[in-house]
Structure 1
Amino acid sequence: MGIHHLITGSYTKTNLYLLAFDTIARTLTLNSTVPAFGLHHSGGSGARINAVDTDGGLGEQTVEMFYVPEEEIVNVDKTRNAVLYGAHSFDVNVNNKGFVAHLAWNAIFMYDIAENGTGALLSVNLSPEIGDGPRNAFPSVDGKWLYVMTEHSQHLDVYEIGETRLTHRQRASAIPDEMRGKHTYRGNTARLSRDGKYIFTSTRGWNSTEANGWVGAFALRENGTLQSEEALTYYEAPLTLGSAGGLRVAFWEDETNAGAYGVTDYMYLSDTQEGYMYILGWTPSNHTISQVAALQYPDGASPYEAAWLD
């Protein structure tokens, strides 16, 4: 009952890694390594929508969206570096509104996703400040709000989702105020707690071994907005997190630690500086985030994102 699994890839290796997290022993171990092949998801100059086959595989492409003149597609950088200055993420909410966070345009493209899988551009929504660099977006469960992490300014932005465009409503800092200007950071992602009462953010250090990564926790009102633009707490990672800083909240409840004062949410936090995967625990009763377990990958592998399997 206390064993849960997640699968990850690597920036530096062409393998998949199956990890086992034991909530009782508080350990993270490598179960198996599977040879595979794949690249960082290209992004950058375009985005695509594909149908899903009946067996769950990738089906026919329904539409491709371009963020440079179409005739320039053959010439632009299509390596993983392209996501550093191009389109970085694509998320769709419950109302079939699609959102592409675009670093270089400093904007969020909003689409209407039709039943046949095509996407029609509704609006281009500029970030509040020049140079923010929207990186990742996460829609609320009810489809009314969009939470956006900015890569270059390390902010969590809350947008109200209208019929055709976004309206910026709130902005919070994903790093402690005293760290601003001290080092260079890169904001990464935002994810909700299982009960929808909190939102977590991740930020990684950049070009300095002294700039450790950060995880922030913010309380949400029942309507989905931030209770306060001040964080409940920040957790400082042991390392910069390198090019990673991936964070995903586990979808399951830990029955071995259930109770009013226990950990309610586990999340992974990935690092490419030294190739670690961390498991963090959120305890809302005292507003703390703490490290529960850690694993250093073998042979120089560097995990970025992962998927909780069970």
Structure 2
Amino acid sequence: MTGVCAVSPASSLVAAAAAADHLVCPRVHYLLCGTFNTLFLYLLAFSPYSTSSNPNHPRGGVTLTVHRRIRAQGPHQFLALDQHRKTAYATTWALPPTLSSWHVVDQGRGGLKHVNTVPISATGSYLTVSPASLPFPPRVYQAGGPVAQAFSIDPTTGGYGDEIQEVIYLDGGKRELLDPRTDKTRVALRYGSHAVDIDPVRRRAYIPHVGHDTIYVYSFEQDGRLRLLAGIPTHGERGHEGPRHSVPSRSGNKLYVVTEHTSYLDVYNVHASKPYLYHSQRLSVIPAHQNATRHLYRGDTLRLSADNRRLYVTTRGKTPSQRGWVTTYALEADGSVKESPELHKGFGALSRFETQTSGGKANAIEVFPPDFWSEPPSSASSSEAAASASGNAEILVDGPRPGPDGRDYLVLTDDELGYVSILEWRDQWQQLREVATVQLGVDKPEEGDGHGEILEEETATGASHAVWLS
């Protein structure tokens, strides 16, 4: 199957590599990465075709470099992109609490330009942009600590528009939120709301709340505001689990949740009416031989594979003594996790990759987007798109989707030493392999202002979260 690339190969060497491995478009892909402890955002350049030597990769290696360094507005924890990847939205740990938006110039080649900054009530955590298939204009949703917000998007600039809603997770409501004694710093993220995850099929939003040990389930009003359906207690020991992030299955019939305090993957069946979520499976992110030290890990992020056949889940070590894990699970056609029968019940992952450090506050992952692969879509793609647009969850299934079969690139961030790594999955390997890495604050930018030098302000940079721009 021959792929089609919008950007011509730069050399005959690249063309030869593309012929040998034709599913990846033979060009440079750009990523945007934030940091936990500096004022900078970083543009990274990833090339699947390289002449450098890497014994773990069948083509001799890939490259990942620091393309540009951009002075931003504070340490940035998390990033989100609009549908066309032309605008990036960022949280920051700077005070007072704000969110910022950035125009992506020429898919990342030309850097970033600041669009606008808006105030929020408490330090932000994770953001998401609603998909265009929902029956209202795209919105930016953010949850962090005691609050969650919804913002319109300015149709002219692509930046933040008006705040259309604020949800408060405090018994005293607005009065308690305005009380100067209420914690609205980044510390509140450890026991507050943490993310907004959207299911476009069932037209729902899920907000895991670490401190409440609850997954809040919302539907959408006509203008995109959230309407609470229920608060579902997390599975396990009440007050002990700490649900942190969730990902809905492609059909909307399953919800995958990672717990921060216990490093479990919980799978919930999704219902159209009460009880909305019903727990069906629990699996360990850490291996069985680490079970006695489970309290020394912190569950983090999770993402579906491009072909919808696997789920990747991460955890971090609480101290540098414990290295983190990226665990791969095989998914059945109905979205449930297929356990390896030869392993202990609840530990049957497809594969586990031990990260080179604890991960610090990171070990966040993002999967190479399905539409970045050059494989043509299957004949099912048009009907699936129609099902998504109609919100009909019964039409879609959780089996393989159009895209690369048995292949993924993941970007993994490390806060401890500032590494950003590319991991690759291939079914014939049955494991993740690190195929490229760069170290922020050590590897010098190749272009832009201050290229070829490292600034004193970059010392001990910790990578937070990276997103694929192109």
Please state which band the TM-score falls in when normalised by the shorter chain: over 0.9
Residue 262 of structure 1, CA deviation: 9.7
Q: Does structure 1 conserve the Cα–Cα contact (< 8 Å) formed by 2:307 and 2:406?
A: no
Question: Partners in 1 of 2:243 and 2:324 — Cα distance?
Answer: 18
Opposite residue 176 of structure 1, the aligned amino acid is P
Partner of 1:67: 169
Partner of 1:163: 272
Residue 129 of structure 1, CA deviation: 1.3
Opposite residue 266 of structure 1, the aligned amino acid is Y
| Corresponding pairs, count | 304
1:89 aligned counterpart, secondary structure = coil
Mapping 1:75-90, distance limit 5 Å: 75=179, 76-90=182-196
Match status 1:234 vs 2:352: yes
Q: Does structure 2 conserve the Cα–Cα contact (< 8 Å) formed by 1:19 and 1:28?
A: yes
Of 7, 10, 14, the residue aligned with 2:39 is: 14
Q: Does structure 1 conserve the Cα–Cα contact (< 8 Å) formed by 2:307 and 2:405?
A: no
Partner of 1:150: 259
Residue 44 of structure 1, CA deviation: 0.6
Residue identity over aligned pairs, in percent, reads: 34
Opposite residue 160 of structure 2, the aligned amino acid is L
Residue 2 of structure 1, CA deviation: 3.7
Aligned-residue CA RMSD (Å):
1.7
Mapping 1:294-309, distance limit 5 Å: 294-298=437-441, 299=458, 300-309=460-469
Match status 1:93 vs 2:199: yes
> Which stretches in structure 1 are left out of the alignment for 5+ residues?
256-260
Range moving further from structure 2, 157-166 or 95-104: 157-166
Residue 181 of structure 1, CA deviation: 2.3
Residue 105 of structure 1, CA deviation: 0.5
Larger radius of gyration: 2
Partner of 1:258: none
Question: Partners in 1 of 2:352 and 2:374 — Cα distance?
Answer: 23
Question: Partners in 1 of 2:428 and 2:155 — Cα distance?
Answer: 44
Runs of 4+ in 1 over 4 A off after TM superposition: none
* Residues 3/262 of structure 1: CA separation in 2 closer, same or farther (3 Å cut): farther
Quick check: which one's strand share is greater? 1
Question: Partners in 1 of 2:406 and 2:217 — Cα distance?
Answer: 36
Partner of 2:13: none
Partner of 2:343: none
Question: Partners in 1 of 2:405 and 2:354 — Cα distance?
Answer: 21
Of 280, 286, 290, the residue aligned with 1:175 is: 286
Mapping 1:114-263, distance limit 5 Å: 114-130=221-237, 131-164=240-273, 165-182=276-293, 184-207=296-319, 209-228=320-339, 229=346, 230-251=348-369, 252-253=372-373
Opposite residue 310 of structure 2, the aligned amino acid is Y
* Residues 160/302 of structure 1: CA separation in 2 closer, same or farther (3 Å cut): same
Mapping 1:261-280, distance limit 5 Å: 264-280=407-423
Of 68, 72, 93, the residue aligned with 1:36 is: 72
Q: Does structure 2 conserve the Cα–Cα contact (< 8 Å) formed by 1:63 and 1:117?
A: no
Opposite residue 34 of structure 1, the aligned amino acid is I
